[in-house]
Amino acid sequence: MSIASTSVLETREPSLGTPGLGSLLVLVLGTLLLGYYYGPAQGALFLVGGALGIALYHAAFGFTSAWRVFIMDGRGRGLRVQMILLAIAVVLFFPFLASGTLFGNEVRGSVAPAGIGVIVGAFMFGIGMQLGGGCASGTLFTAGGGNARMLVTLFFFVVGSLLGTVNFDWWVSLPSLPPTSLVTSFGATGGIAVSLLIFAAIAGLTILVEKRWHGSLEVAAPSPRRGISRFLRGPWPLVLGAVALALLNFATLSIAGRPWGVTSAFALWGAKGAQLIGIDPTAWSYWQTPANAKALSDSVFADITSVMNFGIIAGAMLASSLAGRFAPSWDIPLRSLLAAVIGGLLLGYGARIAYGCNVGAYFSGIASGSLHGYLWAVAAFAGNIIGVRLRPYFFFEKKILLRNDG
């Protein structure tokens, strides 16, 4: 997923059209059918996924291009908006994670061990972000929005996720710190204070770098729309996207009992696909844990993460139709196609061994106060630096020499 340096702009007169009507029908019927067969919570989470897809697409909100723009050009507006996203999330999450309940329901954070697997996996994921053209949620919303190349990335993302489960137990056995959360270490108030200081420091660093490189901070381009038309058809301000994503992640926490995640579903889809072609993933220890074994034996529509992913795709398709930009093209250069394959594999494998992606580990992990979320961010950013240097070989970009002012 990428916070684009420019907003998503229309290229022709907006019209809902067949894709938009189809996606709207899927969202409505899907919510009703999932609610009927799997319970109201499952239907509600599908609808939350749809709202996430709309917000992601209309705000062009993600991580990949924001990190790339900062690495290449020193522009930090996208990174600063990410800090706003995280700040809102920790303020919303920490009090309820500390109490363990939200609206009377038990809740838990996305907290995982911080060790070698996280470092290696996040580093791989960072390279994959730049080659694949997006991250986890970015792959979903751009694919749903009609980007045919991202369907290739998504397919190999799934393949890479499955491969990550083959020797997952080996990665788990490597040295790591136990699951650690700022919420349990400092309490809700202390954890929020520590988190906000970290976010402010990162935002401040981006301001210093940007002013040093350019003399002033980047200003968002004016929108061609105003009022309700802009809300329905985009483009949204990045800050509005940040607010929407934080609130929708909080809604996920309240309904599902845990924060938003993406990539565990990709591993599940890969395992079910493997079964269809005669491969038995149940021999791998990853699929022998009670939760994963149950997910593999149940319908994919019983899986919360899968249902939300389907919703994201449908919501993004609806948003792209409203914006007049749903126009898939399969004219993909060979080098770009190769980058999608390599990037997808790195994204999938990296996310699995790192306990999550830019959503599950970075956004939801840090929103949960998890140390592994911060470690993931550092390692993934390092991977992005390598990925940015590799991009010119696949996308015919000018080779990047990172600026050094001494």
* Cis peptide preceding 222, ω within 30 of 0: no
Residue-level pLDDT at 15: 57
Please check whether residue 389 lies inside any domain of the structure.
yes
| 211-230 average pLDDT score | 88
Please check whether residue 296 lies inside any domain of the structure.
yes
Look at residue 184 and tell me whether its pLDDT is greater than 80: yes
Residue-level pLDDT at 13: 46
Q: Name the token pair of 370.
A: 């998890």
Look at residue 151 and tell me whether its pLDDT is greater than 90: yes
pLDDT digits (tens, 9 = 90+) for 103-146: 989 999 999 999 999 999 999 999 999 999 988 888 998 888 88
Look at residue 256 and tell me whether its pLDDT is greater than 60: yes
Residue-level pLDDT at 145: 85
pLDDT band at 197 (very low <50, low <70, confident <90, very high): very high
CA distance 207 to 8: 24
Residue-level pLDDT at 102: 95
Please check whether residue 1 lies inside any domain of the structure.
no
Query: How many CA atoms does the CB half-sphere of 88 hold within 13 Å?
Result: 17
Residue-level pLDDT at 273: 98
Look at residue 269 and tell me whether its pLDDT is greater than 80: yes
| 212-236 average pLDDT score | 87
Please check whether residue 253 lies inside any domain of the structure.
yes
pLDDT band at 225 (very low <50, low <70, confident <90, very high): confident
Look at residue 292 and tell me whether its pLDDT is greater than 80: yes
Please check whether residue 301 lies inside any domain of the structure.
yes
From residue 372, alpha-carbon distances to 32, 180, 238, 375 in Å are 37, 8, 26, 5
Please check whether residue 111 lies inside any domain of the structure.
yes
Please check whether residue 2 lies inside any domain of the structure.
no
Pick the more confident residue, 92 or 8.
92
Which is it for strands 105-106 and 101-102: parallel, antiparallel or unpaired? antiparallel
Please check whether residue 354 lies inside any domain of the structure.
yes
Residue-level pLDDT at 208: 98
* Whole-number average pLDDT of the chain: 92
| 19-46 average pLDDT score | 96
pLDDT digits (tens, 9 = 90+) for 327-359: 787 888 999 999 999 999 999 999 999 999 999
Question: How many structural domains compose the chain?
Answer: 1
Residue 44 domain boundaries: 17-395
Residue-level pLDDT at 50: 97
CA distance 373 to 363: 8
Q: Of 11-25, 66-80, 362-376, where does mean pLDDT reach its minimum? A: 11-25
What is the secondary structure of 66-94 as a DSSP string? HHHHHHHH---HHHHHHHHHHHHHHHHHH
Q: Which is nearest to 175 in space by CA: 231, 113, 92? A: 113
Task: Tell me what percent of the residues of the chain surpass a pLDDT of 70.
Answer: 94
| 359-365 average pLDDT score | 97
Look at residue 11 and tell me whether its pLDDT is greater than 60: no
Residue-level pLDDT at 85: 98
Q: Of 12-26, 27-41, 73-87, 202-216, where does mean pLDDT reach its minimum? A: 12-26
Look at residue 308 and tell me whether its pLDDT is greater than 90: yes
CB neighbourhood size of 25 (10 A): 12
Residue-level pLDDT at 399: 44
pTM above 0.85, yes or no: yes
Contact predicate 63/224, CB 8 Å: no
Residue 101 phi/psi, 5-degree rounding, is -140, 150
